[in-house]
Amino acid sequence: MSYATKDVSVQDSAPVLLFLITQCGNTWRLTTSSTTVSFLSVPWDPVAIVPGNFEQSGEMPKEVLTLKLPIDHAISATFLGYSPDVVTTVTVYRTHGDDLTNYIVYWKGRVAAATPSGNFMSLECEPVFSSLRRIGIREVYSRNCRHALFGAGCRLAAAGFAHAITVTAVAGAVLTITEAGGLDTLVGGMFKASDGTVRMITRHVGTTVTLMRPIKSLIAEMVANPGGFAATVYHGCDKTPETCRDVYLNLANFGGFPGIPELNPMAGNYVF
């Protein structure tokens, strides 16, 4: 029996929702059924997940799907404190309790925000189609370089400016490191943990660096290696033409406009 034939009414069809949630290689398969369901040749675990209304309107960014999960679930734990570093995707399948062979992809999107409330974690998910209507960020017209360091416009290979260091202490976003060689400044550069997580370095004084955001895995790594563990840092850039020319020898790819006048030649007022 086909899905359309079976899905005559909610009472007669006994619909079942299945949620495939992926995040950085981790996969959770959940279902609204009261028992474990074998679907697509894999088991789907019953969880007290409460989905909101599935809507379709003319304004895609407003079609938010809210999922409520128990606060002690593994998915909820990844959103406690601060959001994870990677995109969390959600795919919702709809099938029937007495016929799991016929199904449809009912909804697909990603988690945009998470809010803990009592015993539940509310995940606000936006549909995958909402990103198709967004206008991309235009390039900035500025004196300093507009390119991301080691990005497509910069055209430098990050591996050539990597430095091996040892992290000896972790206090939130502040790390104590033993520097390799004569590193002058890491501000604007990157810190890369052993699990591949990357953070921008916002402050560097001596053997102390401050990351833009903490990295959860560093706490466990510090506990496992109290004497220190290896990591990688990448040299910073202040986006000036002098640094691009003297440090990176990359002036040909400098993305700034240092010749912008301070005074508007038409009105005579200050541009900045």
Residue 113: CATH number of its domain: 2.40.10
| Distance from C-alpha of 15 to C-alpha of 2, rounded to nearest angstrom | 14
Digit-coded pLDDT (tens) for 182-219: 566 788 889 999 888 888 899 888 888 999 888 888 98
Instruction: Based on the fold, state whether residues 15 and 122 are members of the same structural domain.
Output: yes
Residue 170: CATH number of its domain: 2.40.10.170
Instruction: Based on the fold, state whether residues 122 and 32 are members of the same structural domain.
Output: yes
Instruction: Report whether 259 contacts 241 (CB < 8 A).
Output: no
SS3 175: strand
Whether the predicted pLDDT of 58 surpasses 80 = no
The beta-strand segments (E) located in 71-205 are 88-96, 99-117, 120-127, 162-171, 174-178, 190-192, 198-205
Instruction: Based on the fold, state whether residues 181 and 80 are members of the same structural domain.
Output: no
Q: Is residue 112 part of a domain?
A: yes
What is the average per-residue pLDDT within 35-48? 90
Digit-coded pLDDT (tens) for 142-151: 889 999 888 8
What is the average per-residue pLDDT within 210-236? 89
What is the average per-residue pLDDT within 258-271? 76
Q: How many CB atoms lie within 10 A of CB 245?
A: 13
Q: Is residue 247 part of a domain?
A: yes
Instruction: Based on the fold, state whether residues 228 and 181 are members of the same structural domain.
Output: yes
Instruction: Based on the fold, state whether residues 177 and 233 are members of the same structural domain.
Output: yes
Torsion sign across C-alpha atoms 108, 53, 112, 123: negative
Q: What is the DSSP string of 2-18?
A: -HHHH-S-HHHH-EEEE
Instruction: Based on the fold, state whether residues 77 and 34 are members of the same structural domain.
Output: yes
Report how far apart, in Å, the C-alpha atoms of 197 and of each of 76, 191, 200 are.
Answer: 20, 8, 10
Q: Is residue 266 part of a domain?
A: no
Alpha helices in the chain (DSSP H): 3-6, 10-13, 74-77, 216-224, 241-246
Domain range for 220 is 158-253
Instruction: Based on the fold, state whether residues 108 and 173 are members of the same structural domain.
Output: no
For residue 79, give the nearest of 128, 130, 26 by alpha carbon. Answer: 26
The domain total for the chain is 2
Q: Is residue 269 part of a domain?
A: no
Length of the chain: 272
Q: Is residue 153 part of a domain?
A: no
Contacts of residue 240, defined as CB under 8 A and 6 or more positions apart, other chains included, come to: 144, 145, 256
What is the average per-residue pLDDT within 152-176? 90
Q: Is residue 103 part of a domain?
A: yes
Instruction: Based on the fold, state whether residues 14 and 114 are members of the same structural domain.
Output: yes
The reported pLDDT for the residue numbered 181 is 47
SS3 267: coil
Percent of the chain residues past pLDDT 70, beyond the cut:
88
Q: Is residue 29 part of a domain?
A: yes
Q: Is residue 35 part of a domain?
A: yes
